[in-house]
Structure 1
Amino acid sequence: VMGLTIRDVFWLSLVPGTVALIIIVFAVKEQAGKVDGKFQLLPSIKTVVQGNFLRLLVIVGIFSLGAFNFSFILLNANEAGITDSLIPLVYAVVNVAHVAIAIPAGVLSDRIGKEKAMILGYGTFLLTTLLILFLPANGFNALLVALLFGAYFGIIETVQRALVPGYVDSGLRGTAFGVYYLTVGSAFFVSNAVVGSLWQYFGAQKAAIYSMATTIASIVLLTLFLIKKTKLSQNPQNCSPKSMNRTQRNCINLIFQTQPNSNNGGVTCQEYQVSFARMKKCSGKENPLKKPL
């Protein structure tokens, strides 16, 4: 196009990235956060990877073990008869669906909850694998698969990472995101290797069955997780960690009773989990009430 070679296109692609880097370096001002005491990596990870966040990581990891990337959608289209020259059109369909669904997915997650929206995203991916498994291989069906895959990716990209801050203390969110991306990235690497091998040696249907199995397992686990979380939120006294004694529980209740948005002193399950890391300050020199949630 326009007489440009592939090398020229790659050189041109450096321009927006360079402009963005210049803006970040010279125009974006970030406030440095204050760290209490000396930072220790392993204790921070241990504090983060527990409770509901650990359960969420397991569910997301299982799903990611079967969540192949867009390259298999392009391969499916090619095997369905779409020529190499039209494969970029299939990729465009994936991206258009991704962009179009992102904002509606975010709005929906704010209304019904991020966990429910994530189940919807997993369900969309499940439908994608079912279409690969059962629909005849032709150009129209390949485009339909690409459209659904783009919608799934837009929902998950918007919602899944937004869940992380709600399950950890604000001072440990950076660590939590690191653990989250390590989990997802590692599982995703395994997924593409397994799906690629199944696709090459046994065909697209066997690869789709594998992804379908991990997705169904993830949907079931996430649904059970959401049901349990909802029940515990209605009775927060059952949600506090088993190791919490009466004094520690009174401390957390005291923290929330002084907050303006604590529902008249009521403490939800999620609030208990987030505050547990802060609980030790009750018996220390620092006043835990200095730091509102």
Structure 2
Amino acid sequence: MGKKNDIVKERNNVYTLGWVAFFGGFGQDMIQPILPIFYSTVLGLSKETIGLIEGSLTTIVSVFKIVSGIISDKLGKRKIIVFIGYLLSAISRFLFGTVFFAWQAFILRLIDGIGKGTKDAPRDALVAQSAKEGHVGFSFGFQRMLDTLGSVIGPLVTAGILYLFASGNMRYRIIFYIAGLISAITILLIGIFVNEKASSASKEQSKFDFSVLKDKFLLFLIIMLIFTLGNSSDSFLILRAQDVGISPVIIPIVYAVFNLFYASLSVPAGSLSDRIGRVKVMKIGWIIYVLSYIGFAFASRPWHIWIIYIFYGLYYATTEGIAKSLVARIVPDNKRGTAYGLYNASLGIMTLPANIIAGYLWDNVSPSATFFFGAACAFIAFLTISVSNIEKAA
């Protein structure tokens, strides 16, 4: 009976953490479509400065992703660390409504990023631990689906607020306040409904080290670093949409449609990876990314952006959750906190140079050059993973 109750609790963890991701994505993507515009039109920042803030944020966050993963393995506790991470993000998003200077924006984005870095690895380890055998891809796909559904509703709410308040900077600040309150719902869900199974890992098994950084997992991280060098912030996609003539009021709707396709395809893509292999599905996703970035490079009309953004949603569905389920496949349970910390960090370490390069190419060469560079890096990563032996393990 006790074992059956444990199974029910673990299954409920998958569902609850999915809804945690929903409200987290809701709050985050209320502000994401307007953040680049807020930076450039309200704060008056250059593209290079925007890239520097967002890139510096992600790079520093990477440290917290690693540390939180290692600590969660060492303590054998995930829930409290996830709780603290979501709390920091909720507070920073609410306070962003008080920003008037670049240094204030940097500090609050840093706090939001620290929250994200703190929660990501232990949350992913909780999902992997709670997933039924043979359903890891589905479980991460389910989480990505709800996360992304929140990212559909968030931009639509933002678009409504922008429509109601047709002018003035206060409308941006109202969005930040509401996003912070919605993000706070995650704290209640974690505190009340998430149940953590006592860790069976010994002190020796969970010691403070990087022994997981070897073999197939190390190879996978290297490939991800190659890909991420060209995967600059999606803020540049929003700026590209504005560049070809889409108004700030419509941009959140475009972003919502993109997330709708992403959400609707995440579970099917995750289930497909359980059947045919995670690397095969990821390779499809990276080819879609290459084609999407080439499309952004050549885009010259607003309708081009609509079509490319929809196609780009398929890239996210076939890579985000599936990459995390791949980590769960090639790393033992008692090392997954550290592994997810290192994995998530690999997506962040290269983001600073990626964003600086993207901003430099945009300002000094052309907007198209930013996307050609991203497509090239993704294609190199595709070729590298194609000749690797990771496929055999996943």
| TM-score, shorter chain, exceeding 0.5 | yes
Equivalent residue, structure 2, for 1:122: 286
Kindly indicate whether the alpha-carbon contact (under 8 Å) linking 1:77 and 1:90 is maintained by their aligned counterparts in 2.
Answer: no
Equivalent residue, structure 2, for 1:36: 202
Compared with structure 1, are the counterparts of its residues 189 and 179 closer, same or farther at alpha carbon in structure 2 (3 Å cutoff)? Answer: same
Kindly indicate whether the alpha-carbon contact (under 8 Å) linking 1:73 and 1:145 is maintained by their aligned counterparts in 2.
Answer: no
Counterpart-to-counterpart distance in 2, 1:229 and 1:73: 31
Based on CA coordinates, which of the two structures has the bigger radius of gyration? 1
Q: Is 1:20 equivalent to 2:186 in the alignment?
A: yes
Give the partner amino acid of 1:94.
F
Matches within 5 A, 1:46-61: 47-61=211-225
SS at match of 2:316: helix
Gaps of 5+ in 1: 234-269, 272-293
Q: Is 1:196 equivalent to 2:356 in the alignment?
A: no
Deviations 1:17-46 (A, max 9, x none): 33321221133221220232344322xx1x
- Equivalent of 2:317, from 154, 157, 164? 154
Kindly indicate whether the alpha-carbon contact (under 8 Å) linking 2:299 and 2:305 is maintained by their aligned counterparts in 1.
Answer: no
Counterpart-to-counterpart distance in 2, 1:102 and 1:34: 32
Gaps of 5+ in 2: 1-160
1:197 deviation in Å? Answer: 1.4
**Please, what is the CA RMSD of the aligned residues?**
2.2
More helix by share: 2
SS at match of 1:67: coil
Equivalent residue, structure 2, for 1:80: 244
1:136 deviation in Å? Answer: 4.7
The two structures have a TM-score, normalised by structure 1, of 0.71
The more displaced of 177-186 and 98-107 is 98-107
Kindly indicate whether the alpha-carbon contact (under 8 Å) linking 1:117 and 1:155 is maintained by their aligned counterparts in 2.
Answer: yes
Counterpart-to-counterpart distance in 2, 1:84 and 1:28: 38
Percentage identity across paired residues of the two chains: 26
1:223 deviation in Å? Answer: 0.6
1:5 deviation in Å? Answer: 4.2
4+ residue segments displaced more than 6 Å: none
Kindly indicate whether the alpha-carbon contact (under 8 Å) linking 1:198 and 1:204 is maintained by their aligned counterparts in 2.
Answer: yes
SS at match of 2:200: coil
Equivalent residue, structure 2, for 1:237: none
Matches within 5 A, 1:249-268: none
Counterpart-to-counterpart distance in 2, 1:154 and 1:126: 15
Q: Is 1:177 equivalent to 2:343 in the alignment?
A: no
Q: How many residues align?
A: 227
Give the partner amino acid of 1:144.
I
Compared with structure 1, are the counterparts of its residues 17 and 132 closer, same or farther at alpha carbon in structure 2 (3 Å cutoff)? Answer: closer
Counterpart-to-counterpart distance in 2, 1:194 and 1:126: 18
RCO comparison, higher one (Cα < 8 Å, 6+): 2
Counterpart-to-counterpart distance in 1, 2:370 and 2:179: 34
Counterpart-to-counterpart distance in 2, 1:24 and 1:123: 36
Compared with structure 1, are the counterparts of its residues 171 and 126 closer, same or farther at alpha carbon in structure 2 (3 Å cutoff)? Answer: same
Deviations 1:186-235 (A, max 9, x none): 1223212211211121112211221121111101011111xx456xx5xx
